[in-house]
Copies of this chain bind each other. A is one copy, B any other.
Amino acid sequence: MAETVHMIDSEVFLAFSTYATIVVLKMMLMSLMTSYFRLTKQVFSNLEDTNLAKTTEDRKKLVRVDPDVERVRRCHLNDLENIVPFVVIGLLYALTGPDLSMALLHFRVFVGSRFIHTVAYVMALPQPTRALAFGVGLFITFSMAYRVLTTALFL
């Protein structure tokens, strides 16, 4: 990490910015997908969200749990659990000055794996599609963490 100052201007850092933004935007789309399912299926978590229904009795019935909504929410939580580590460790990795081609390989494979993970989760594709996509993403983040710890270790 001796020349990190110059690294922030580097192509590696631009690539990190691009892929991190794309994958975080993908994660944010899960919020919109949850809202879409909640509205089209009329499934809510809060009584105050049901104000399009007429009677109080009707409104209470709309506060319920739906398997499709829960599926999207599990996918969203899995994104948080995996994309946040990628962003944190990826930022530090970008500052260690890796080769551009190696960095691009890491970023592209990770982002691709998370898009496949989302499709596999939301469409309930047969396993091990989703498990493999999850595992590839995990492996990429571990690989970047390995470089950060071997380059910058200071305990």
Chain A residues with CB under 8 Å of chain B are: 1-6, 8-9, 11, 13-15, 17-18, 20-22, 24-25, 27-28, 30-32, 45-49, 51, 71, 74, 76-77, 80-82, 84-85, 87-89, 92, 95, 121, 124-127, 130, 134, 138, 141-142, 145, 148-149, 152-155
Contact A74:B95 (CB < 8 A) given known A17-B1, A51-B127, A155-B18: no
CB pair A127 B48 closer than 8 Å: yes
Assembly CA distance A24 to B71 (angstroms): 25
Please give the count of copies of this chain that the complex contains.
Answer: 3
CB pair A31 B87 closer than 8 Å: no
Assembly CA distance A30 to B24 (angstroms): 21
Q: Kindly provide the distance from the CB of A39 to the nearest chain B CB, expressed in whole angstroms.
A: 10
Q: Kindly provide the distance from the CB of A85 to the nearest chain B CB, expressed in whole angstroms.
A: 5
7 A-B residue pairings within 8 Å (CB atoms): A1-B13, A5-B6, A14-B154, A18-B153, A28-B82, A31-B82, A77-B77
CB pair B18 A125 closer than 8 Å: no
CB pair B17 A92 closer than 8 Å: yes
Q: Which B residues are CB-close (under 8 A) to A25?
A: 85, 142, 145
Give the residue of B31, B48, B134 whose beta carbon is less than 8 angstroms from that of A81.
B31
Assembly CA distance A138 to B32 (angstroms): 10
CB pair A152 B87 closer than 8 Å: no
